[in-house]
Structure formats: structure tokens, C-alpha cells
Chain A
């Protein structure tokens, strides 16, 4: 109890002195802000991509694919779809049809040469829209099954400058864009949508890359997955849609996340040396005060703790500033990749990550100065005055 009271009193003394040491305190805040700002700005790319992939994906959704590389393989033959939809645990529509949709993707090359990136075409079946209840048309109209026409997501329309009426060149000729749709910020917004049968006929693609299903309840997944994977007639694996999203995002962004942590660590090392230096300086300015406090009975531990607390406080202020700056500049900013368009996201999770980094930096950086203060030989320090 006494230790706690002493820590509180000493911390108040330390904080009161912050104004006198305002420049070095500001430098500490600024250094941590730089580290956290850069870290979170870079991570906002991956976080945004993940948010887009997960958006609209509820725990009831699962994805069946033929191998690890689901998107382009078209490895599920058409005649296996019926068997897959017989699996237990799939929710039924009011008319008794299973809520499952066989789909595949098709890369649509840019109509004009030399434009970087173009949307992929997601070919969906009759249940595709039922499984995506948030998807709605914002301009033009829905595509009609059997007609050679497409609709485009708002994100793709914006990033690749596509409009209702634009012709899109596909193997079967040119297909007009008849509508623009939104889907609650999901990654589907960066794609074209078209009717699976019509697209398959035109592109001569046989087979599907995935089957999206809605389960009766999230718990039904294990039985569903087991049934599919042990069925000798099938060669498929099932995944929850959230796992699929995570894996897909990691495949394209893992290198960038690793680079980000590498960059963040290097900056953190720089900041760490800075924090140690600044806090050493702060302790050495207060030698007289610290020696006096020790002489009148304050214990070394509360003293060290108060200095650590001060470091943590300054570091947190820096983290909040850095994260705030990253949020202001990058959160919600549109990012157009080769085939994916999404908004960068400085999420709550990233704020927590920034706070954790700041805490670790402060604890490591504040420890040597705190120990020095605690071990200060009182008599020598007072005599030196």
C-alpha cells in the first residue's frame, strides 16, 4: 500500500515536471508517433483488404473449393455440384432448394491497352444473389440470365472508370455493362458479375472454382465439411468464408505485412535508443530532486515505477498521435490494386496494436533510466551538489 501511495506521489511530481522538460518530452512523443504512424499506415492496406474480403461474410457462409488455389482453378466439374449441394447442414430456401451457388472467376483483360489492372468477372448462378442479401443495384438494372451482359461493382466502376453502357470484350464478343451494384464495401464490389451459364458458354470454361453455401447454423460446418471431404465421389475441401478470406488476403499481402513489420521494427529500434537517451537525460536533470526524495524516505521501487509510468504515458500520447494521423490520412482512402479495389482501414484492432507497440517500447526504453534513478547513490548525489 505504501509503495502504491509513494508511486502515485512520485508520478505526480514527475508529471508536474514534464512542462519544464517539455522539449525532450515532445521529442519522445514525436518519435513514438513516427513509429506508430508508419506502422499503422502500412498495415491499413492489409487491414482494408481483409475488411473488404470479410464484409458481408457472415458466420453461416462456407466455401467449397477443389484445391488450395480456389479462385482460378475451375476444378469442380459441373456434375459434382449436385452432390455437393446434397451435403448435410446447408440451409434451404423457402421453395426447398439448397442455398448454394456454384461460381467461377474469369480475368477480364483491360479494354484499353496499358491500363493497370482490370476487374475480374465473378460468374454466379441463380442463388448467387440470394446468398449476398446486401447486394443491390445503384444504377442501371440487374443482368438477366441467358443474356450476354454484366453488372459492375461500385468500387471497380470508380477505379477503372467503367459506366453503364460500356462494352466489355469477352471471348464471345462484346458484353454491355447494364448496371452498377453495391455490396456493403465487400470485395465483390471490385468485380463484374455475370450469369454463370452464359459466361461459361462464351468462354468455353467448364467447371466451377467454388461453391458458396449458407449453412443452417455456424455449428453445422464440421459435419458439412466432414461429409464433403470423406465423400469418395468428390475431391473438394470446405472452408468457412472467414478462413477463406484470411487465406486469400494473406496470399497477396503476406509479403507486405512482413515488410511492414521489418520497417516498423527498424524504426522502433531507432526510437528505442531515443527513448533511453531522453529518459536518461530526464533523470540526470532531476538528480538533485531524486536524491532528496530518496533521502526523505521514498523507496527505490516506487521511484523507478514512477519513471516507467512517465515513459509509458509519453509513449501512449505518441501512439495516439501517430495512430490518429494514420487514421486521418489513410482510413477510408480508396486503394486500387491489380484486380481488387478496397478502402484502406485503420481499424480498432490496429489502434490496439499501436498501443501495444508503444507500451513495449516504453517499458524497454524506460527500464534502464528507471533503474539508474532507483540505484542512485543518495549520499554521493547530494554531496555532488
Chain B
């Protein structure tokens, strides 16, 4: 600690250059924090997805104008498949609430959903309430706040023509309660969660559409068998009029993260390139500083400073701006991710929100220390072999 003034004055020898290096380090660590945070967010998505939940969809796109339909009767067949614990049918009511731009989607489920995915609603009484109230819905807190809805409100959803047997386009729903969002997969803007009753939806649809689900949700008794159970379900219905495609949620998320233009695979290389760029700068800065102050170090050596102390001084001189930059940069990245999403370009809102957890901050600090070490290694060697007499003589 007593050497701090020495290091401090060395850093501020050339104030402009010191500030510029520090700013450059900060910018790079903002990028580092953002990229590593993004990677952590993707990991989190996969981590959160469950292997013991399966999604059963129609294998082939259907020609039906309302979507991909599976006969409700298939639910009972799937329920008998070995390893299946529970099966729930689901369908959507897609439309908008008040303003055509505020789209709303009601996920209508049957009574088996409470066995498949009980945690959607926080307590069993809410399940009872939902299943006892045909028009009732539970709505996620984010969406409730956006629509300005609370328990007891009516929520009319306007749908395209042809979705109701009576020829109307307005669906009346009653908000039973607001629940913390649970279908959360960590992505921006995914608070669109309204849970309703399939029986009500089924009984309101045009006759031709009744008896079909848009998909099934399956709970598997043992996650280790999820892949095998998926194949069993698909094989069971392979020769039916509606073959299925069954995928465990976790596999689905892994595919989603790695398909398309995979951002997850590019986060670490980009973060690395940013750090390498800054390594060039800090290494050059400290090398130049040590070169210019060779006589100073020679004096310190003459005064009895050990090689180790001198090396520590050099390390500290480069480590302080690196650490300061890492901390500020990670902070800035965290600030960036907290910007309200409407400041983001629309296309970026679908990216998962970078997760700037303690681990990410710690890896930034660790990276800053490594950066400082790598920068200081050459000047440190130079100091070890410094010949005091030559340096003092100005040779």
C-alpha cells in the first residue's frame, strides 16, 4: 500500500494518454460484458428449459386456415404411451386487445395442464378457479401492466372473422388474476402470457374446427427417457392422418439457440477480439512507460528495491487502469441491458437480454488481471535484467 503514491504518479505521468488508454479499456470491457452476458443468457435459456416436458405438434404444416391441427382424440392415445405422466391439449385464440397493434394471444388449455405444468399458476386454488370459470383467464404481470388490466376486468379480444360459430369476432374473457410470468424463457418482450380454458374456446369455435388441438404438452415421468418417449409418441401416430413431431423443451431450446444465425457461437470470439485489441494498446503503453523511465527504475534498484517489488510496481501500473476499465465497462454493459427495450432497434428485441450476473462481472475482473499480466510480462523481464550502472550512466 505504501507504494501506491509511486504507482499513482507513474500512471498520471502523461494524463491525456492515461485517460485515453483507460477509456479504450472501458469500451472493450463494455463489449466483453455485453457479449459474455449474452452468452450467459443463452446458457440460461437452455438451463431453464426442461427435459421432462415435451411439445407435440403436427409433423406437417396443414392446409387449414386456422393453423396446425391435431385431433383431440390423440390426447388419450398419447396418455397411454409408456413413460408419459400427463398430457394436456392446447389451442390459441389470436387477436388483439383494443388496438390492432397490441396483439394478444390466449393459450387455452384443458384440465390436464395442471398435472403437466402446475407451476404456471402459483397455487392450486387458482387452478380450481380457472377450471371452474369458462371465460376466466390468468394474465402475466408484464402483459397486465401493459394492457392496464387487473383481476375482475373484462378483456375482449378481437380476432379475424371466421373464428367463432356465431359469426362474431369479439371474444369475451374475464381476468381472474395476475400472476408473475412463469413461461419466461429469458427473452426480451416475452410477457405475452394469457392462460384460458380450452373447453370455452372449443365450444365457441365454428363446428368444423371443434375437436382439434393446436398441440399437446406432455409431462414425462423420467427426464432420462424423454427422447425415447418422444420417439414412441411419433411412432404411435406415424401412420395416422396427423403424424406428429415431438420434441423435449430442452432440445427445442438447444436447437433454437444453435439454429438460424447462431449468435451464441460468436459471443466469445468477439469478446476475445476486443480484449486482444486492447492488449496491444496496454502492452505498448506500459512498455513505453518502462522504457522512458529506465533511469528511475535504476535509481529504485540502487535504493534497494528488489526485483519483485519493481515488477509488482509495473504490474500495478497497468493493472489499475485495466481493472478500473473492466469494472466501469461491465457496469456500462449492465446499464445498456437495462435500457427500456423500445430504445432498441425492433430486430434486436428478440435477442435474449444479456445476463450480467456476478459470474460475468467476475470473469471480466479475471480477464482484466490476465490482460494486465500479459501486458506487463515483457517490461517486467526487461527490469529483471536491468543493469543499474548502464541505466544510471544513461546507456
A residues adjacent to B (C-beta < 8 A): 23-24, 26-27, 30-31, 34-35, 37-38, 42, 45, 72, 74, 106-107, 109, 113-114, 116-117, 169-171, 203-206, 252-256, 258-259, 262-263, 266-267, 269-274, 276-278, 280-281, 284, 337-338
Contacts and interface: CB of A to CB of B under 8 A. Distances in A.
Contacts of B270: 38, 42, 263
Contacts of B308: none
Contacts of A259: 263, 348, 351
Contact of A35 (B246, B251, B263, B277): B277
Interface class of chain A by DSSP: helix
Interface string B16-47: 11001101110110110011000000000000
Contacts, number: 141
Given A72-B61, A273-B21, 13 more contacts: A34-B274, A113-B227, A113-B234, A116-B259, A117-B259, A255-B350, A258-B345, A266-B27, A267-B28, A274-B20, A276-B20, A277-B285, A284-B14
B260 A109 contact: no
Contact of A281 (B234, B245, B288): B288
Shortest 6 CB-CB distances between A and B: which pairs?
A: A270-B27, A273-B24, A255-B347, A34-B277, A277-B20, A266-B31
Contact of A113 (B247, B284, B345, B347): B247
A107 B259 CA distance: 15
Contact of B261 (A106, A203, A205, A337): A337
A273 B321 CA distance: 14
Contact of A277 (B17, B60, B350): B17
Contacts of B147: none
Contacts of B276: 34
Contacts of A72: 61
A314 B16 CA distance: 22
Given A116-B258, A270-B24, A271-B24, A258 B274 contact: no
Contact of B61 (A27, A107, A267, A269): A107
**Max chain A C-beta neighbours (<10 A), residue from B20, B25, B285, B348:** B20
A109 B60 contact: yes
B240 to A, nearest CB: 11
B163 interface: no
Contacts of A170: 60
A269 B21 contact: no
A27 B280 contact: yes
B351 A255 contact: yes
B227 A114 contact: yes
A256 B263 contact: yes
A204 B62 CA distance: 8
Nearest to B32: A266
Contacts of A27: 280-281, 283-284
Contact of B273 (A37, A117, A262): A37
A270 B31 contact: yes
A277 B281 contact: yes
Contacts of A169: 59, 243
Contacts of B345: 255, 258
Contacts of A109: 59-60, 245
A109 B242 CA distance: 13
Contacts of B255: 114, 116
B252 to A, nearest CB: 10
B230 interface: yes
B278 interface: yes
A40 to B, nearest CB: 12
A15 to B, nearest CB: 20
Contacts of A274: 20-21, 24, 277-278, 280-281
Contacts of A37: 273
A338 B260 contact: yes
Nearest to A252: B260
Contacts of B266: 42
B303 interface: no
Nearest to A261: B345
B224 interface: no
A24 B61 contact: no
B63 interface: yes
A205 B63 contact: yes
A37 B276 CA distance: 12
Interface in B230-277: 230-231, 234, 243, 245-247, 251, 255, 258-261, 263, 266, 270, 273-274, 276-277
Contact of A204 (B28, B63, B227): B63
A102 B50 CA distance: 43
Contacts of B260: 252, 337-338
A206 B63 CA distance: 7
Contacts of A267: 27-28, 31, 273-274, 277
**Max chain B C-beta neighbours (<10 A), residue from A255, A274, A276:** A274
Contacts of A272: 24
B271 to A, nearest CB: 9
Contacts of A35: 277
B287 interface: yes
A274 B279 CA distance: 11
A227 to B, nearest CB: 28
A106 B24 CA distance: 50
A321 to B, nearest CB: 13
A269 B27 contact: yes
Contact of B280 (A31, A74, A116, A266): A31
Contacts of A269: 27
Interface in B190-232: 227, 230-231
B117 to A, nearest CB: 22
Contact of B31 (A45, A206, A258, A263): A263
